[in-house]
Amino acid sequence: MGKIRKIMSIFIVSGLLIAGCSKESSSASKDYGLKNVTFPLKEKVTLKFMIQSSPLAPKDPNDKLIFKRLEKKTNVHIEWTNYTYDSFAEKRNLAIASGELPDAIFYAGLSDYELLKLAADGTIIPVDDLIEKYMPNFKRVLEKRPEYRKLITAPDGHIYAFPWIEELGSGKESIHSVDCFPWINVEWLKKLGLKMPKTTEELKKVLIAFKTQDPNGNGKADEIPMSFIINHGAEDPAFLFGSFGLGDNWDHTVVTNDGKVVFTAAQEGYKEAIKYLSELYKEGLIDEEAFEQDFNTYVAKGKAGRYGLYFTWDKANITGMNDKYDLMPPLAGPTGEINVTRTNGMGLDRGRMVIMSANKNLELTAKWIDQLYEPSQSVQNNWGTYGDTKQQNIFELDKKTGMLKHLPLNGTAPVELREKTSVGGPLAILDEYYGKVTTMPPDAAWRLDLMKKVMVPHMKADNIYPKVFFSLDELKELSKIETDLFSYVNRKRAEWIKNGKVEEEWPEYLAELKRLGLNRWLEIKQSGYDRFYK
Ligand code: CA
């Protein structure tokens, strides 16, 4: 799991932070002595920020129209130290370790653990006072959504970073509610005269028909009835587990409606779901590569139209935006029960921008950052801008209403265009902006519509497990347990689907979960949850 790898790398990094931190030798700007700052400044000054951006974007971030306009608006010139995504974390950590600190880090990509470490050793400063005094745009966001103030406040009561907030639907209707959508080949269903399956047994029959009745009509048994990438977020078949009880998701965590945190991979229903999948495997209905393939291999077979059923966030990325595949509704399991398990996802990244303790122009910096939370600015930071005469635009600006309207992409991949022109960083896009400040991105609007119609009616859980801000000690303990616990669970999950031994090995498996610290893990997660909702 990506998350576990990330946690392990943090431990390595943190040693570096402690070893090399010296705040004297800094490359931050000098003190300009500015007070009661209003934009544009009468005289231009320079602040020094570090940033990461896409390899597709210009090397100098100031070549982006969004930053050009911001410099004009504020008369603050930003001297960027820019690294591409792949090398950023390493360069950032080296700079911190060597004490070569900029004024701030934009698009900082810091985990909770890193944030709290940097706060504890005084590399970054708490920003709660700056928000109160100098940041009306950001304050407005926190007033409208007090839950974000809760979520970005560290257990010691301070806020250490400016977040990225992107709302796309809320509650059960959030775009993050289910990450692994099941996409079924409706062309094959039609060809074979089959109906959309409604139960797990019907799905099994459909997959057998896909395997044996040559739906692509080439005389060969080359169809792959079902594929997935095991333990790989949205490509994992976790969706099918919902037919057997509480279901499963990538972090194996759900919350019952009476507020109890449950580890999905220790439940009876989880075992039944694995049994079902192992039956499918035994029948030869699961792609042999489902347990080892990388994303590119998965896409290649998808593009070639070989799948009967597969899993991913958006079919456009695998089999294209055509009518060959459709979203398969949730299935009734052996007891007749239908349940859609929610993913613990939120459009929130706490550590998007931090101010270094070396910064001598706090009011100026805070007021500059506050510009990023102005609604229309936030929208552009996230997706790109309008009125660029040199390249394709993601938006046009309605001059009468000030609304940003998504333009047709004419075949350009949305992600590619966004990465060239957007700037990321701290921002907030709230649900009420859609239809006023901006139109919704068409790919998101389409997915939200499917979520609402197909998935939401069957979601039994009232709450997800939110992005609780744990303390440094809790994070250490959680990651220590998770490293072994999650790799064991995910390994057994894959093994059992192939070897069918889940029933006989189950008691021994439960004992091993206990030995690896499951009870303590649940205790920490439960207390975090209770703290959030109290
Ligand atoms: Ca065939």
Q: Which residues contact 31 (CB under 8 A, 6 or more apart)?
A: 360, 361
Tokens 């930071």 locate to: 381
DSSP letter at 455 equals: I
Distance 225 CA to ligand 1 centre (A): 11
User: What pLDDT does residue 223 have?
Assistant: 98
Distance 222 CA to ligand 1 centre (A): 5
Residue 104 bridge partners (DSSP): 49, 355
DSSP E strands: which ranges in 250-408?
253-255, 261-263, 307-312, 325-327, 348-355, 395-397, 404-406
Q: What end-to-end distance do the CA atoms of the chain give, in Å?
A: 31
Tokens standing for residue 227: 């594929």
Distance 221 CA to ligand 1 centre (A): 4
Tokens 């576990």 locate to: 4
Distance 335 CA to ligand 1 centre (A): 34
Q: Which pairs count as long-range contacts for 21-25, CB under 8 Å and 24+ apart, including other chains?
A: 21/96, 21/97, 21/99, 21/121, 21/123, 22/99, 23/99, 23/101, 23/122, 23/123, 23/357, 23/358, 24/99, 25/98, 25/99, 25/100
Distance 274 CA to ligand 1 centre (A): 28
Distance 307 CA to ligand 1 centre (A): 11
Distance 286 CA to ligand 1 centre (A): 16
Distance 184 CA to ligand 1 centre (A): 16
Distance 259 CA to ligand 1 centre (A): 49
Distance 190 CA to ligand 1 centre (A): 15
User: What pLDDT does residue 414 have?
Assistant: 77
Distance 287 CA to ligand 1 centre (A): 15
Residue 435 backbone zone (phi > 0: left; psi -120 to 50: alpha; other: beta): left
Distance 219 CA to ligand 1 centre (A): 5
Tokens 């093994």 locate to: 495
At position 456, the amino acid (one-letter code) is V
Pairing mode, if any, of strands 181-185 and 325-327? antiparallel
Residues near ion ligand 1 (CB < 5 Å) are 214, 216, 218, 220, 222
The phi and psi torsions of 515 (rounded to 5 degrees) equal -60, -35
Which of 166, 107, 142 lies closest to 354, judged by CA?
107
User: What pLDDT does residue 26 have?
Assistant: 53
User: What pLDDT does residue 20 have?
Assistant: 40
Distance 185 CA to ligand 1 centre (A): 14
pLDDT truncated to tens, each residue of the chain (534 aa)? 333 434 444 444 444 444 444 444 458 999 999 999 999 999 999 999 999 999 999 999 999 999 999 999 999 999 999 999 999 999 999 999 998 899 999 999 999 999 999 999 999 999 999 999 999 999 999 999 999 999 999 999 999 999 999 999 999 999 999 999 999 999 999 999 999 999 999 999 999 999 999 999 999 999 999 999 999 999 999 999 999 999 999 999 999 999 999 999 999 999 999 999 999 999 999 999 999 999 999 999 999 999 999 999 999 989 998 999 999 999 999 999 999 999 999 999 999 999 999 999 999 999 999 999 999 999 999 999 999 999 999 999 999 999 999 999 887 877 888 999 999 999 999 999 999 999 999 889 999 999 999 999 999 999 999 999 999 999 999 999 999 999 999 999 999 999 999 999 999 999 999 999 999 999 999 999 999 988
Distance 326 CA to ligand 1 centre (A): 20
